[in-house]
């Protein structure tokens, strides 16, 4: 039986893997997170892998506070890059494979067609830069693993745009949402299920491969907010605003749609439309 360790088990993606674990009986899945499991404590990690035999590590832990990262670049770098270096060293020592999640923020958003896995990286801010550094560490480490880039993650768990807007729409008379950034929302439950299905099909892989996974279709943050409103039917007025009207510390990519053709073809995956994924998520939140 394949033993899988999921790190970052309390985050929205980690909780999504917990949701699906009973549906994949061929995998024995273990879940760890802070404070008991600290990715930055090399000694603790070493002790863990000495005492527990693991085949695959799925790393869902990341520093994802995009604006805060501009003020705390060292903290972001430690979790998004340094910790990946630690994991790669341990992967070589203890023979486990690594599945690591990255982001659309490694691109600058200047494209007009979906980004492919091999397109050059050009992150705009600290968060994107540190995630790109983590990717580079994995690719140069001489280990076996997958890097799965995703975008605009939402779920019934943790803190995310969909849950925030769901709450605001029920408690405010009007809100403003950015309408000139385009991307593909990704349901964390779909991403976790697709990852486990892909692992079932190809438990043996050599070298580091990069994949993109989002739900199908694309929209703007304003489009996503109005889709939430249509499903929960509140009188709150949503104003479309430009990025310039809503300044943030970190620059966001204007267009960050990811091409998911590679993962679809390689694993014969059917990507759910983001609209129906949103419907499922709102049922679980509501």
User: Is 105 labeled as catalytic in the residue annotation?
Assistant: no
Query: In sequence order, which residues have a C-beta less than 8 Å from that of residue 25 and are 6 or more positions away?
Result: none
Enter the tokens of residue 50: 């000495």
Name the 3-class secondary structure at 95.
Answer: coil
Across-strand partners of 2?
27
Query: In sequence order, which residues have a C-beta less than 8 Å from that of residue 233 and are 6 or more positions away?
Result: none
Question: Which of 127, 157, 211, 222 is labelled catalytic?
Answer: 127
Separation CA 281–CA 286 (nearest Å): 9
Enter the tokens of residue 264: 């679809």
Q: In what order do the strands lie in the sheet with 27-32?
A: 27-32, 2-7, 56-59, 97-103, 145-150, 208-212
Tell me which residues are annotated as active site: 127
């Amino acid at each position: 039986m394949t033993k899988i360790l999921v790190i970052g088990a309390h985050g929205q993606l980690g909780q999504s893997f917990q949701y699906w674990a009973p549906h994949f009986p061929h995998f024995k899945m273990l879940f760890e997170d802070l404070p008991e499991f600290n990715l930055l404590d090399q000694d603790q990690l070493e002790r863990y892998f000495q005492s527990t035999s693991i085949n695959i590590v799925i790393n869902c832990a990341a520093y994802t506070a995009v604006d805060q990262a501009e003020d705390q670049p060292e903290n972001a770098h430690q979790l998004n890059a340094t910790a990946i270096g630690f994991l790669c060293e341990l992967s070589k020592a203890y023979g486990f494979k690594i599945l690591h999640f990255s982001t659309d923020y490694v691109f600058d958003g200047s494209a007009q067609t979906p980004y492919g896995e091999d397109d050059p990286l050009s992150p705009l801010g600290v968060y994107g830069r540190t995630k790109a550094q983590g990717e580079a560490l994995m690719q140069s480490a001489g280990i076996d693993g997958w890097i799965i880039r995703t975008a605009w993650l939402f779920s019934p768990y943790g803190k995310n745009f969909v849950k925030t807007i769901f709450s605001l729409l029920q408690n405010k008379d009007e809100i403003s949402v950015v309408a000139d950034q385009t991307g593909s929302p990704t349901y964390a439950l779909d991403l976790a299920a697709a990852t486990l299905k892909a692992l079932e099909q190809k438990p043996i892989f050599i070298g580091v491969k990069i994949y993109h996974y989002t739900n199908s279709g694309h929209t703007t943050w304003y489009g996503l907010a109005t889709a939430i409103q249509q499903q929960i039917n509140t009188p709150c007025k949503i104003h479309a605003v430009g990025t310039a009207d809503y300044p943030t510390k970190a620059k966001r990519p204007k267009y960050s749609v990811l091409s998911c053709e590679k993962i679809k073809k390689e694993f014969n995956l059917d990507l759910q439309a983001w609209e129906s994924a949103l419907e499922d998520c709102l049922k679980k939140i509501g």
